[in-house]
Structure 1
Amino acid sequence: MKNSNQILNIEKSVKSVVLLMLSLFTAITALNAQTNNNKTQKMTSFTDKGVQAPATNFIGTVWVNMNVKPEEGYNTNIGTVTFEPKARTNWHKHSSGQVLFVIEGIGYYQEKGKPIQLIQKGDVVKIRKNALHWHGASHGTMMRHIALVPEYDKDKTEWLQSVNDEEYNSYTTEKSVQTPVKITATAHKNHEELWPDYQSKAQETDPELIEVFDNFAFDEVINHDAMETKTRVLIIMASTIGSQALTEYKMFVNAALNTGISPVEIKEVLYQAVPYIGISKVIDFLNATNEIFTERNILLPLEGQSTTTPETRMEKGLAKQKEIVGERVDEMYKNAPKDLLHIQKYLSANCFGDYITRNGLDVKKREMVTLSFLIAMGGTESQIKGHIAGNAKVGNDRQVLINLMTQLIPYVGYPRTLNAITCLNEVLPAK
């Protein structure tokens, strides 16, 4: 009974700590937002990287931001630790134990004598007193956690030897033995091109699905045609916005940067989504992009790409619209009821004048990106037909569009792809 009560008390304490950390995180986030323009107020944030950790206790690039310090009057030590891919702590132990709250990314945790565990955003790691352990980022993804050491006045942290590459890489070896996934050499190569050394948690939990998907998407589908990697990544990334697939979008933003696509090109795809998908659906993708850029030390805002002014947006937008849509634009204006004529003007000045005339992407890629939005959204067959014609007018022929639709199959599914193919056969029938 005594042991049961002790366990119950520990569980209650942990729950209290979790609630405290969540409340603290929410409060700091709110305060930072509220005082964003007050540069004189000293604040701390869980999103600040802080200072680089000493190489004596860590391998790789690690940042530490001490959010709550004992000298501030608290008998605890709370810090945010950010690990770049492959970075990790040395083996160490705390006489008071430790609690880790993973708030971003994917990482590893291991206690001596036990297998490595995969940890990710939302996980809470409760480390026993004097347990010898290490923790850090996964092979291909950064990881950020909040580390809490209780009873700081009684704690003694002992740092020991580094975690060598053999120990660190044993996660991959162990998992490959336990859950073998038969990925073809071609699929592996194409996947590595986008995400070098990436360790998928889904491969651990759902190996059969990953085997089927990766071999199809990264071998069979990619080998259908010779589409350039950068173009393929851009259209798939665009489709994830149309599908409202934020998690997969973030994967492809990283893939874009890994394959040499510029931040400007990524932002232009995102900006162009606004007139087609709406800002209410795009804003979360904008925030996610900015977070990734910040993590990668890409300075914001990026250089402006606008080519129009309030005075020229209508004229230049109409010219761009005719370049893509053709002289049919004149018929659209002529046939528009008077009470809807303003919509035609919005299309010319706003959709084309404010967005499509921008630099950063050429018109052929912009039309492919737009078509990818529309296919992924579903229920847009009328607009798909219009932009199939638009693609053809700027030089993207039937085969280019077949290749586009083929590459999107694993990400948008067959029904929406087949609907797009029906539109293609109607607008640009096979010869």
Structure 2
Amino acid sequence: MENFNSILPKGNIAPKENFTGTVWTNIAVNAEDGVNSIVGKVTFEPKARTNWHSHPNGQILIVTQGVGYYQEKGNPIQLIQKGDVVKILPNKIHWHGASHQYEMSHTAIVPNPSKQSSIWLQPVSDEEYNTFKVPVYNVENSLSPLAIMNHEELWPNYISKAKETDPDLIEVFDNFAFDDVIKHGDMVTKTRVLMIMASTIGSQALTEYKMFVDAALNIGITPIEIKEVLYQSVPYVGVSKVIDFINATNEIFTARNITLPLESQSTTTPETRMEKGLAKQKEIFGNRIDDMYKNSPKDLLHIQQYLSANCFGDYITRAGLDVKTREMVTLSFLIAMGGTESQIKGHIQGNANVGNDRQTLINLMTQLIPYVGYPRTLNAINCLNEVLPNK
């Protein structure tokens, strides 16, 4: 979608009767093209938006640039930004457009278009549009609106004590972490939060971990997904370092009335853990695993067996997270821990083997910079360039 957005021009000015403000549309696929869909790029200048409308067969929006709003009738306005996917059910009355400060482009897909693919209604009034409470630009601390909105998305109405005691630091950090860095790449919010949360375990940053557990729950990441990241950290970080994170997580879950224990995600038994773990290793790393067994000294063969049965059989085979997410989680642990370059190289190749390409890993490493620092990120980038060079 990044290429689609960059190569397709803005197109033509949209008809005023269906939009407020300046909007451009460029239809790439018409219903007459024989693929039974309408696909187009729509670009809104700041404050521009559609009228209220609906689609008999639904619609999908993929935000490719900028920051915007989406609202369904009867619900509050949602903030949407690059990488977000909005799935709109048939006949759901809604509108979408740019935010107050930023232009927004999205790819709009209308499947199975009928003769009347859109049913247009009344304009969205300024009063309706302004029900989204735009964060006030803080002149004293110079926090950008995008930094405030991205922070607010994770921690609504959170009052930072550090903002009062260390305003200079918060200005620099929030503008970098929640504006500059988030604007890079197209990592979706849920993935970004999970990876940062994983890195805080590797960094042994319990206070920040608790912040990101709250953020994860606030944006719809499930308790099972959080616990699976936590459990997966044990074979990489060690249970003596993870136990405090488990206790903190359980306290947060209890405070939010999340019933413990959660449903088990185990997929192996004592009898199958070795077989399934070895199969999972080979799925991720291929024939390299056979070579590791073949080349292992006899007095260290048990370590290879532990890796297969315990690290992979007991943990990586679990449900709750797919293999692509698990490999990115592992890489996040290793980058944050430091001194793990050999393992980082192995898991960069493992990521590539399961479908996480070089750009995906660059996006991951970029998002981790504010939380693990430049030295460990640059070491990881050196590993990336060695294993997956830019061709």
Q: TM-score, normalised by structure 2?
A: 0.65
Which amino acid counterpart does residue 302 of structure 1 have in structure 2? Answer: L
Query: Is 2:351 the partner of 1:396?
Result: no
Deviation at 1:349, TM superposition (A): 0.3
Match in the other structure for 2:248:
288
- 1:413 matched to 2:373? The reply is yes
What is the distance in 2 between the residues matched to 1:250 and 1:269? 13
List aligned pairs for 1:126-205, cutoff 5 A: 180-205=140-165
Letter matched to residue 307 of structure 1: T
Pair 1:424 & 2:384 matched:
yes
Bigger relative contact order, structure 1 or 2, given CA contacts below 8 A and separation 6+? 2
- Residue deviations 1:40-86, cap 9 Å, x none? xxxxxxxxxxxxxxxxxxxxxxxxxxxxxxxxxxxxxxxxxxxxxxx
* Residue 314 (structure 1) aligned with residue 259 (structure 2): no
SS of equivalent residue, structure 1 residue 230: helix
Q: Which residue identity lines up with residue 247 of structure 2 in the other structure? A: N
The gaps in structure 1 that reach 5 residues or longer are 1-171
Q: Secondary structure at the match of 2:224?
A: helix
Deviation at 1:264, TM superposition (A): 0.0
Q: Does 1:239 align with 2:199?
A: yes
- Secondary structure of 1:324's match? helix
Match of 1:326 among 263, 266, 286: 286
Q: 1:270 aligns with which of 221, 230, 233?
A: 230
1:348 paired residue number: 308
> Shift of residue 403 of structure 1?
0.2
Query: Secondary structure, in 3 states, of the residue corresponding to 2:382?
Result: helix
Deviations 1:392-423 (A, max 9, x none): 00000000000000000000000000000000
Mapped partners of 1:293, 1:181: distance in 2: 34
- Other structure's SS at 1:333 match: helix
Provide, for residues 20-55 of structure 1, a one-character-per-residue CA deviation record: whole Å limited to 9, x for no partner. xxxxxxxxxxxxxxxxxxxxxxxxxxxxxxxxxxxx
Q: Compute the displacement of 1:182 (Å).
A: 1.3
Aligned residue in 2 for 1:297: 257
Name the aligned partner's letter for residue 265 of structure 2. Q
- Greater C-alpha Rg: 1
2:345 aligned residue:
385
Cα distance between partner residues in 1 of 2:310 and 2:297 = 20
Question: 1:351, 1:369 → 2: CA distance?
Answer: 14
Deviation sequence 1:195-250 (CA, Å, 0-9, x none): 00110000000101100100000000000111100000000000000000000000
Secondary structure class of the residue paired with 1:183: coil
1:284-336 Cα distance to aligned partner (Å, 9 max, x none):
00000000000000000000000000000000000000001111100000000
Query: Which of 150, 167, 182 is the matching residue for 1:222?
Result: 182
Letter in 2 for 1:287: N
Deviation at 1:181, TM superposition (A): 1.4
Give the ranges of 4+ consecutive aligned residues of structure 1 lying more than 3 Å apart after TM superposition. none
1:337 to 283, 297, 306: 297
Q: CA deviation at 1:180?
A: 2.3
Instruction: Report the residue type matching 2:360 in the other structure.
Output: V
Q: Distance in 1 between matches of 2:284 and 2:175?
A: 37
1:369-389: CA deviation from partner (whole Å, max 9, x where unpaired) = 000000000000000000000
In the alignment, which residue of structure 2 is the partner of 1:94?
none
Letter aligned with residue 389 of structure 1: Q
Give the fraction of aligned pairs with identical amino acids, expressed as a percent. Answer: 81
2:167 to 181, 204, 207: 207
For the residues of structure 1 that align with 2:162 and 2:354, how far apart are their CA atoms? 40
